[in-house]
Amino acid sequence: MTVAIVGAGITGLACAAELAPGERVEVFDRIPVAGGVHGWRAPETVALERSALRAGAILRLGVTAIRWEDGRLLAVGPDGVHRLPASVLVVASGTRPLTRAELGLAGGRPAGVVPAPVACHLAENGLLAGRRPCVVGGGDWAHRACHELLAAGAAAVTMLAPDRLRRPMPDGVDVVEGLSPTAVEGGPRVTALVAGEEWIACDAVVLAHGLAPLRNVEGAVWDAPGVVHAQPLDDPATVAGAREAGLRAAAEVRALIGSKAAA
Amino acid sequence: MPPDDGHGRRDYDVVVVGGGVVGCAIAWRLGFTTARVALVEAAHDVGEGASKGNTGIATCGADCTPGTLEADLVTRSSPRWEELCASLDTPWRRIGTLAVATTAKEERDLCHLRDQARENGCRADVVTGDEARALEPLIAAKARAAVHIPDDGIVDSLRLTVGYAELAARNGVAVLTGAPVTGIDREDGRIAAVRTARGRLAARFVVNAAGLEAGRISALAGGDEFEMWPRQGQYWLLDRELGGRFAKIVGGVPTEVTRGIYCVPTTNGSLLLGPTAVDAEYPGDRAVDAETLGSVFAAAQRLVPAVRRDQAIKLFAANRPASDPVYRVGRDSRVANLVHAAGIRSTGVSSSPATADLVHSLLADAGAPVDVGDASAERSLPPLPRLLGNPDPERLLDLDPRYGQIVCACEQVTAAEIAAACAMRVPPRSLDALRKRTRAAGGRCQGTVCLAGVSFLLSLHMGMQPWEIPVGEPEATLGVAS
């Protein structure tokens, strides 16, 4: 039987390494390296990638899976189009913070309301989403965004954490705990984040709260026959948690294959 | 300073003020003539006002008041959509509407809606609740009956507006964005020139299609006095995993006050819920509030119980240009070389082709040199293929290997599509403008994954730093200088 896995992060690699000795496994990732958010050079990534390959899994890195239709995965990459008939599709494509709509933020549409991954990506390139940003959230993405923004030269960073922080706040960050954001104010650029009665003055709002699964394979966004979702929403995320999710997915795949064989 | 129109001209037979769907349609129509035409738009892109915040319904005119100019223009536009949208590379589908009655009173009103539709020459039938559910299984079990209006369609109104402007530009119309009108010069009671932030344009005739600014433009020209005000609509945009299951536009029964809340599947598969209709104070106010959005959602859920709040990908508001009377399309009573296409409040998309024809004939009546067809004019835009849903991706990659580089994962927008958009005659000058043309960053994650990459690509095409890239208007940039 063939198993297609979307996402070559820790979860996808762990699932592949577990299944590849018995099944034909192909792993797709839109990024040209394995590891996902954990990073391609991390020892855990290197070790899992090696054991997946040794078990016979095929890694298709830099190839984006786009459609799951009639038991076939369609993927495209710079090398061309891939069509893979598969018994099971494992979606292990990671997570993202909640969007403005998912947070239900009211107000207008000023510039400077930026998802945390975008703010981090800009900051890594020396570009600032704002000089006095307000980061919404208290988990992995919020801590990372605060760190990156300060490193890129932000003058002052406020963290608005809707839930109580479960880890030390980053140095040099003002933390407001226990308030949920309700609206953004300002135009053309954001001037404040509103949380009930509180107004937090800022020139950027960085959306880093909550986690949602990233699902972009048409036909496998919601539950669908032959599809296993493996996207742990742990915050903080751990390698152990990601690996466990991969192993759980592998067990689900085996059960699906078993029931197909029985039928 | 001469305007930077790429044509080296400063004098025009016709200057169209306003680059919404109405102004762009007029420019498109005039592009088929030998007249020298300019379109001036205050914002950084066409389609930045009401034209980017509407339901995307191209109505056949069933619920227009019979005998009005609006009903006439909408019903005359309706049969043209297939050909028009094919020529403008604009997504379009004639899927029909179900106006659903859930109460006994609404059920009684259905006959009126059907009769009115038929008076407008539109096909319409009253169907039972079961028949309605056979046409659209998603509608509520408590739907008692409905009017089925098979000829309503859905259109990508953003692509339509850009498409009108793009074909106009290819046919020689100077499309000047970022050019707000600062003054109008008059000589002997006629308009002599339109002054904009991008220079003075001598004008033999002027079309006022300035939407919410139409009253101000008329006043600057010394023309008829009228007032425009914003009528705000708030919307939910839901994921295409739900929208893609819709077969019909689903609405309630219109009242005398409002057409009501609709569930509208969009041409890109997502689902719009809305709009509200509340007179707003400031034209620039596009704020949403939880209470109004809650009422929209509740109304939509009565029609389609399957809608869920956690399917929301965007919450937004837009302002339609309201006035009294609506549809002020005609020659000014004081200024002989001024034609208004104003007060087109709710059905601007639906009436745009016929409105463009009407304005063309009004200009001809006024003596504008718009009566000679340009034999060399292009009749259609070259289609730009998209990867999303494409049945033959191999062919696309053969065409351009950049179709293999997906930039926006949610909407599956590739580097090839972004490059093609940036090469347009009316190119994107902001992230919003790029989204209108390609859908990049317009999907379920709203750019969470791709916006940095999209801005890097756009910055290469625009020759700007990524943080300088405007989100919408030029002063609203993605980042700040570090």
CA-CA distances (angstroms) from residue A75 to A64, A79, A163, B448?
5, 11, 39, 21
CB contact under 8 A, B481 and A128: yes
Same domain? For A146 and A169 the reply is: yes
Same domain? For A15 and A79 the reply is: yes
Q: Does residue A147 carry a pLDDT above 70? A: yes
Same domain? For A203 and A104 the reply is: yes
Cβ burial B117-154 (10 Å sphere, 16+ → b, else e): beebebebebbebeebbebbebbbeebbbbbbbbbbbb
Residue pairs spanning A and B at CB distance below 8 A? 154
Same domain? For A105 and A202 the reply is: yes
Q: What is the pLDDT of residue B71?
A: 98
Proportion of chain A above pLDDT 90, given as a percent: 90
Q: What is the pLDDT of residue A157?
A: 96
Q: What is the pLDDT of residue B260?
A: 84
Q: Which residue of A has its CA nearest to B392?
A: A81
Q: How confident is the model at residue B144 (pLDDT cuts 50, 70, 90)?
A: very high
Q: Which structural domain range is residue A61 located in?
A: 2-94+214-262
Domain residue ranges of chain B, discontinuous segments joined by +: 1-90+155-227+324-383, 97-150+231-320, 393-468
pLDDT in tens, B209-224: 999 999 999 999 999 9
Arithmetic mean of pLDDT, B307-325: 92
Question: What's the burial of A213, exposed, middle or buried (CB within 10 Å: 0-12/13-18/19+)?
Answer: middle
Q: How confident is the model at residue B233 (pLDDT cuts 50, 70, 90)?
A: very high
Choose the closest CB to A99 out of B285, B288, B445. B445
pLDDT in tens, B22-49: 999 999 999 999 999 999 999 999 999 9
Of A167, A185, A207, the last residue of a domain is: A207
* Chain B residue numbers touching A64 (CB-CB < 8 A): 406, 409, 412
CB contact under 8 A, B467 and A128: yes
Chain A, 152 to 191: residues with Cβ < 8 Å from chain B are 152-153, 182-183, 187-189
Q: What is the pLDDT of residue B257?
A: 62
pLDDT in tens, A200-226: 999 999 999 999 999 999 999 988 899
What is the architecture of the domain spanning B97-150+231-320?
Answer: 2-Layer Sandwich (3.30)
Local structure of A242: helix, strand or coil: helix
**Interface contact A80, partner B, CB < 8 A:** yes
Arithmetic mean of pLDDT, B73-97: 98
Q: Does residue B421 carry a pLDDT above 60? A: yes
pLDDT in tens, A50-74: 999 999 999 999 999 999 999 999 9
Q: Which residue of A has its CA nearest to B467?
A: A127
- Quote the crossing angle between the two packed helices A43-54 and A239-262, to the nearest 10°: 20
Same domain? For A88 and A154 the reply is: no
CB contact under 8 A, A77 and B404: yes
Q: What is the pLDDT of residue B3?
A: 45
**Predicted TM-score of the model (pTM):** 0.95
Proportion of chain B above pLDDT 90, given as a percent: 85
Q: What is the ipTM of this complex?
A: 0.94
Same domain? For A11 and A76 the reply is: yes
User: What's the rounded Cα separation, in Å, for the pair B231 and B318?
Assistant: 8
**CATH code of the domain in which A255 resides:** 3.50.50.60
Q: What is the pLDDT of residue B476?
A: 87
pLDDT in tens, B437-462: 999 999 999 999 999 999 999 999 98
Same domain? For A73 and A57 the reply is: yes
Give me B187's structure tokens: 């000589």
Q: What is the pLDDT of residue B465?
A: 85
Distance from CA of A21 to the nearest CA of B (A): 31
Choose the closest CB to B480 out of A66, A99, A130. A130
Q: How many domains does chain A have?
A: 2
Q: Does residue B1 carry a pLDDT above 50? A: no
Choose the closest CB to A111 out of B312, B387, B471. B471
Average pLDDT, whole number, for chain A? 95
Arithmetic mean of pLDDT, A222-233: 94
Same domain? For A77 and A116 the reply is: no
pLDDT in tens, A1-46: 999 999 999 999 999 999 999 999 999 999 999 999 999 999 999 9
Q: Does residue B155 carry a pLDDT above 70? A: yes
pLDDT in tens, B171-201: 999 999 999 999 999 999 999 999 999 999 9
Q: What is the pLDDT of residue A166?
A: 81
Arithmetic mean of pLDDT, A245-256: 98
Average pLDDT, whole number, for chain B? 94
pLDDT in tens, B256-300: 666 789 999 999 999 999 999 888 887 777 899 999 999 999 999
Residue B355 makes CB contacts below 8 A (sequence gap 6+) with B22, B25, B26, B73, B77, B329, B341, B344, B348
Assign domain B1-90+155-227+324-383 one CATH number from 3.20.20.70, 3.50.50.60, 3.40.710.10, 3.40.50.2000. Answer: 3.50.50.60
Q: How confident is the model at residue A96 (pLDDT cuts 50, 70, 90)?
A: very high
> Is there a contact between A126 and A152 (Cβ–Cβ < 8 Å)?
yes
First CA to last CA distance, chain A: 14
